[in-house]
Amino acid sequence: MTATLNQYVPAHGVRAPAGRAPALRVGPTPVLVGIGAGAVAVLGLWWTNTTTISGLGDYLTHAGRITGLLAGYGAIILLGLMARVPALERGIGTDRLTRWHAMGGRYTVSMLIAHGLLITWGYAVTARTSVVGQGLSLLRDYPDVLYATIGAGLFVTIGAVSARAARKRMSYEAWHLIHLGTYLAIALSFLHQFSTGADFVGNKPAQIAWSTLYGVVTVLLIWYRVVTPVRQAFRHRLEVEGVRMEGPDVVSVYLTGRHLQDLKAEPGQFFRWRFLTSEGWWASNPYSLSAPVSGGRLRITVKEAGGHSRQLARLQPGTKVMASGPYGAFTGGVRRRRKVLLIGAGVGITPLRALLETLPGRPGDITLIYRARHMSDLVLRAEIEEIAFDRGARVHYLVGTREQLGGDPLGAEQLEWLVPNLKHHDVYLCGPESLIAATREALRDAGVARRRVHHESFEF
């Protein structure tokens, strides 16, 4: 039996306590510059270890060396991007980091495949033997190469599973479990770089620099993905206070704990939640806060979309919880204009509801557009209307199918009609990827600058 809870009471104008130092943020530009500089340094390593190149075999082998170095560099950068470093999460946002990770993953897998084929082909040309024979010889005579080949196979498999078409057919939990194989793939591939890599054999400075890069990222992963959640669990002692059904297949989970303000959670951010039940302890899923931290209480509001989210409705009061975070840059910190438009769809309204309550503004400065297919899908409606009334914010509900609404309700013309002077607004988008993509295009058509559109999806 679930606990009976009163409706969450909005605490309008929630702010961080005075005097608190702002959380560190690192934006995308310095990170991209750093990644690019590292790639140039990797190419410099190859250049300084190359004297002359002559003949087809040499050209193929050196191309294999370059692709191998870039693949090894790309693999560790992929892990670094997803190490959940707070400064990156707040400054860049999980949504963007995830897109970078996906794009980098395709690049890294391509480099790995090219490395294996080019090196084998180059050696075969030089030795005047067949490519197949040369490949079998490398696997037989060099155990580290065999391990690296297994690692490359894991990378390719994980890349295939992570492709959009395959990803949509899997639950988040299954995809996440398979993705953990990346760590094993990198571990299997690491040793052969020093035992057979021409750029590292006998080159102690290069070995030290490469090992340091891998070591730093490994420490970040262990600290932020393992140690920090455990430390937070002991400090904050989170547990379930109760659950509340908000609509068909939508449930709010209320949590209490200690020192919650020390989490520095901002409206619009999310945590990765691990509910310590017999059926849910192994899974860690991302859910946004649906209200600001207030009165020693946190709240998430979740729509059933898989095994983990389905279990939330059965949570019992007192269930212990581990939460890592907060994550994401979908906060008031990215706002640059006085006027703000919030656009959400379905349960994507949850971080927007928290922003609606806390974003500074005078009456008329904030507008919310809530898109849903059915009236029953408008979760948290009573709270939204109470906040809007209190703050003088405008709320538009766009409910129904496209056919029922006579076209695209979030098209450029409709948005400009609903929101006068739209191009002078900052816009926050949250919902399914398809809605975000279409609405971003409509906003560009309406004259809203790309840098003024802030979005978060549930695709990671």
305 and 250 together in one domain:
yes
The DSSP element (H or E) to which 176 belongs, if any, is helix 172-179
107 and 211 together in one domain:
yes
Q: Residue 14 falls within a domain, yes or no?
A: no
248 and 391 together in one domain:
no
Q: Which of 227, 259, 293 is the last residue of a domain?
A: 227
Q: Residue 7 falls within a domain, yes or no?
A: no
For residue 326, whether the previous peptide bond is cis, meaning omega lies within 30 degrees of 0, is yes
Q: What percent of the chain has pLDDT over 70?
A: 89
Count how many domains the chain has.
3
Within 5-93, residue ranges assigned H as helices are: 28-48, 55-81, 86-91
Q: Residue 11 falls within a domain, yes or no?
A: no
116 and 182 together in one domain:
yes
* Paired sense of beta strands 270-275 and 425-430, if any: unpaired
Are the beta carbons of 276 and 320 closer than 8 angstroms? Answer: yes
pLDDT tops 60 at residue 458: no
Cα 300 from Cα 285, distance rounded (Å): 12
Structural domain including 166 reads: 28-227
pLDDT tops 70 at residue 19: no
Q: Residue 16 falls within a domain, yes or no?
A: no
Q: What angle do CA 333, 337, 425 make, to 5 degrees?
A: 115
pLDDT tops 90 at residue 450: no
408 and 444 together in one domain:
yes
177 and 245 together in one domain:
no
Are the beta carbons of 366 and 354 closer than 8 angstroms? Answer: no
Q: Which of 327, 347, 373 is the last residue of a domain?
A: 327
Q: Which of 327, 349, 382 is the last residue of a domain?
A: 327
Which among 102-106, 156-160, 247-251 has the top mean pLDDT? 102-106
Q: Tell me the average pLDDT across 301-319.
A: 77
Dihedral, 267, 272, 275, 279 alpha carbons, nearest 10: 140
CATH of residue 440's domain is: 3.40.50.80
Cα 270 from Cα 169, distance rounded (Å): 24
Q: What is the pLDDT of residue 437?
A: 86
Cα 420 from Cα 162, distance rounded (Å): 41
Q: Is the dihedral of CA 357, 359, 364, 368 positive or negative?
A: negative
Sheet of 425-430: strand order equals: 394-399, 366-372, 339-345, 425-430, 453-456
Lowest mean pLDDT, pick from 26-30, 130-134, 403-407: 403-407
55 and 187 together in one domain:
yes
Amino acid at 328: G
Q: Residue 19 falls within a domain, yes or no?
A: no
CATH of residue 259's domain is: 2.40.30.10
Residue 302, classed as helix, strand or coil, is strand
Q: What is the pLDDT of residue 121?
A: 92
pLDDT in tens, 341-350: 999 888 888 9
**CA–CA distance from 231 to each of 81, 97, 135, 234 (Å)?**
22, 24, 48, 5
Cα 96 from Cα 329, distance rounded (Å): 9
pLDDT tops 90 at residue 38: yes
112 and 253 together in one domain:
no
282 and 351 together in one domain:
no
103 and 248 together in one domain:
no
Q: Tell me the average pLDDT across 6-25.
A: 47
Q: Is the dihedral of CA 406, 408, 410, 411 positive or negative?
A: negative
Q: Residue 3 falls within a domain, yes or no?
A: no
Q: Residue 135 falls within a domain, yes or no?
A: yes
164 and 61 together in one domain:
yes
207 and 244 together in one domain:
no
Q: Residue 5 falls within a domain, yes or no?
A: no
pLDDT in tens, 50-107: 877 888 988 998 899 899 999 989 989 988 998 888 888 888 888 888 888 888 888 8
